[in-house]
Each structure stands twice: as structure tokens, then as C-alpha cells.
Amino acid sequence: MARIELKNLAHSYHSKPKSEADYALQQMDHVWEDGQAYALLGPSGCGKTTLLNIISGLVKPSEGTVSFDGEDVSALLPQERNIAQVFQFPVIYDTMSVYDNLAFPLRNRGLAETDIRARVNEVAEMLELDDVLTRRAANLSADAKQKISLGRGLVRSDVAAILFDEPLTVIDPHLKLYLRRKLKQIHARFKLTMVYVTHDQLEALTFADKVVVMHAGQVVQIGTPQELFENPQHTFVGYFIGSPGMNILPCNMDKGLATISGSVIPVGAVHESLSGAHELGIRPEFLRLHAAAVAGTVKVTIRETEDLGSCQIARVKMGDHSLKVKLDEGDTVPTEEGYLEFPPKWIRIYADGKLVEPDRSLKSDVEIAQ
């Protein structure tokens, strides 16, 4: 177990990168604290796997260093780094039994056969593989095979961290839940540093203490699931996390008032020297839809309503912009026309995609008028 530190790290698959676009990973500094479970979340192609492979040593970064507990391991090969990695598709050694598969990483490191037996039996019991230990690994089902892959990661007691690269892709949905719970239990029991790569937000939010969101080769936010939901630091986090994602609307800012397609919306706070083109973000969960006009609401046309069983999603049109509103299952949704309320507490303002913190010392015109 170790604290993993990335310094000035950047990577390009081109031998001579010319512009930012040539980099799969933009320059970053990042620390993975000892014993934490992290999820690395982002869309396909955002650099998650590259980052993971750099930590494990499968990929040598073009710039920067990786250190475990303060020791620079950048020059070390994966087998010298003392790290475990589980891949997207189960990797098993076909000709070996399940026991030999699990023992393989330990035998390669020259452990005594008695120690190996103890470790393998412990891991097999943990993953409920003990009744198939003598079977050939090749003849097992996909999820048993992936359990073996997980087991080979867990069997080494001294690893600095275990890296998971979308390990549950090929697993049946109901087993996914079970295996994820298993991993959480293992984490709770052994306090291993775990990094779990996924593009599935549900998987990320349920697995991790902290979620690291990546977009276009950069880390855009690190936070607890709640922080990511309530306070997205970047418009990307806003619409990537949440289902449906955050409504992002281009707006014009002026003294605490946002103008969107001619409608003026008070944002509840003043952002110092903030004027001109920005974006306003609000989650569909926080919007309120009224049948009749209430003070501070904006008139919208309702395009359609989707009933998802546990909730309803209304698609509304405000000027040229479309928004989604999430309503409770029992709510009556007005047809054709409605009035949309933007609770100022949940409005976020973004400049160039990044969150702008409101200046609490300044009062908005609305607050002064009150």
C-alpha cells in the first residue's frame, strides 16, 4: 500500500508532439492517497487507461514522474513496481488450474510453496473460488474467469496499489453488483489503495470514496459523489454525471442577473466583474415546473414528457433552448405551457466551461431590493 504521486505528468503517443492535441494526457499533478478507493471516470478515449498504464509502468510517460511513497519509480518496469492491475477482459492462463493461476504471480516472485498455499486459499475463499480451485481455468464462465483475474491482483499482499481497468465490462448485470460489493468489502478489510477505471458513472459513484473525473486528457474534478453532483467544477462534470445531465445554457451575465433568450433569471449571488457571455448550469432535479405563473418564473413550452417509472422527465423549450426537468412520479405535468422556476441555490455559473465561484461579499440588486 502506498501513496502515489504524479508530478508534471504528461503523455503523448506521438514521438514528437507538436500541439496540445497530440497529447493523450495533458500535464497534471495528482496524488492518490494511501488506502483510498478512487474511481477514474470519463468517456471512452479521455486518457483513463493511459493514466492507469502509466501508474503500473506498462506505459512510460513522455514527461513527468510517478512516485510511490516518495520513491521515484518512473524508470521501473511493471514487475519491479509492485503493483497489481486487472484488465477489461479476463486474462487467465488457459492451461493452468485455478489454483495455479492464482499462485502464478507469487511463484514468479519466488515465494515458498507453503506461503503461496496460504495466500491462494485466503483469496479463493474471499472470492468464493475455493470449490473450483482444482478445475482448469479455461473451462469456467466469464465471471469466474474475471474473478480469477481479480484474485491474481489481490493475492500479492504487498502491492502498492491495485488498478482496475473497467473490470466488470463482460460481467452479467446482477453479478456486476455482487462483484463490486465484493471489491468494496475487500477494500474495507485490507485498506488497499485502489484505482478503478470506468466510463459508467453509477459504477464510479457506488465504488469509490473519491471520484476523479477526466475529460480530454485532463482531470477536471476530484470529489465525493455528492460534491460532483451538487457542485460540478466543470460543465463536462455537470452533464456527464447525473441522469439526465445538467442543463447548460449560454447566458449573458450582468450584476447577478442572467439573461437567457430574453428571459432574466436572478442567480442569487454576484460574481465579481462578471459580465458578458457565460453559461448557466442547473440540474434537472432542481428545476421546478409550475402550471400557473409565479413570481420569478419563466414561461416555457412543454415538448414532451417521459415516464421512467420512478420519475418523469419533461423536455421544455425556453426561447431557442431545450431543458430537461425531472419531476416526481406523482406530479402532474402541465401540458403545452408551464412556468419554470430556477432556485438560485442550485444555479451554477461557468466561464469557459469552468465554475465561477460567487463573491459572497457583494450583494445582488435583487438582495438589495429586498
Q: Rule CB under 8 A: which residues touch other proteins?
A: 53, 56, 58, 77-79, 83-85, 87-89, 91, 93-97, 104-105, 108-109, 134-136, 138-139, 149, 152
Question: For residue 73, how many C-alpha atoms fall within 13 Å in the half-sphere facing its CB?
Answer: 25
Helices and strands (H and E) in the chain: how many: 10, 21
Kindly tell me which of 61 and 232 has the beta carbon lying closer to other proteins.
Answer: 61
Kindly tell me which of 186 and 274 has the beta carbon lying closer to other proteins.
Answer: 186
In the chain, the N- to C-terminal Cα span, in Å, equals 56
- The residue written with cell numbers 421544455 in the block is 316
Name the minimum Å distance from CB 154 to other proteins: 13
Kindly tell me which of 55 and 318 has the beta carbon lying closer to other proteins.
Answer: 55
Name the minimum Å distance from CB 53 to other proteins: 8
> How many whole angstroms from its chain centre is CA 304?
30
Name the minimum Å distance from CB 96 to other proteins: 7
Kindly tell me which of 91 and 351 has the beta carbon lying closer to other proteins.
Answer: 91
Contacts of 146 (CB under 8 A, 6+ apart): 86, 90, 167, 168, 170, 171, 179
Kindly tell me which of 83 and 249 has the beta carbon lying closer to other proteins.
Answer: 83
Name the minimum Å distance from CB 303 to other proteins: 45
Kindly tell me which of 92 and 260 has the beta carbon lying closer to other proteins.
Answer: 92
Kindly tell me which of 98 and 214 has the beta carbon lying closer to other proteins.
Answer: 98
Question: Residue 14 CB: number of other CB atoms within 10 A?
Answer: 12
Kindly tell me which of 96 and 177 has the beta carbon lying closer to other proteins.
Answer: 96
Name the minimum Å distance from CB 108 to other proteins: 4
DSSP 245-304: --EEEEEEEETTEEEETTEEEE-SSB-TT--EEEEEEE-TTT-EEESS--TTEEEEEEEE
Kindly tell me which of 97 and 305 has the beta carbon lying closer to other proteins.
Answer: 97
- Grid cell, residue 254, equals 450582468
Residue 346, classed as helix, strand or coil, is: helix
Are 161 and 51 within 8 A, CB to CB? no
Name the minimum Å distance from CB 113 to other proteins: 17
Residue 242, classed as helix, strand or coil, is: coil
Name the minimum Å distance from CB 313 to other proteins: 38
Name the minimum Å distance from CB 182 to other proteins: 20
Rounded to the nearest 10 degrees, how much is the dihedral formed by the CA atoms of 52, 58, 64, 69? 70
Name the minimum Å distance from CB 59 to other proteins: 10
DSSP state of 42: -
Are 31 and 5 within 8 A, CB to CB? yes
What residues are paired with 326 via a beta bridge? 313
244: preceding bond cis by omega (within 30 degrees): yes
Alpha-helical (H) ranges within 127-221 are 142-154, 173-190, 201-207
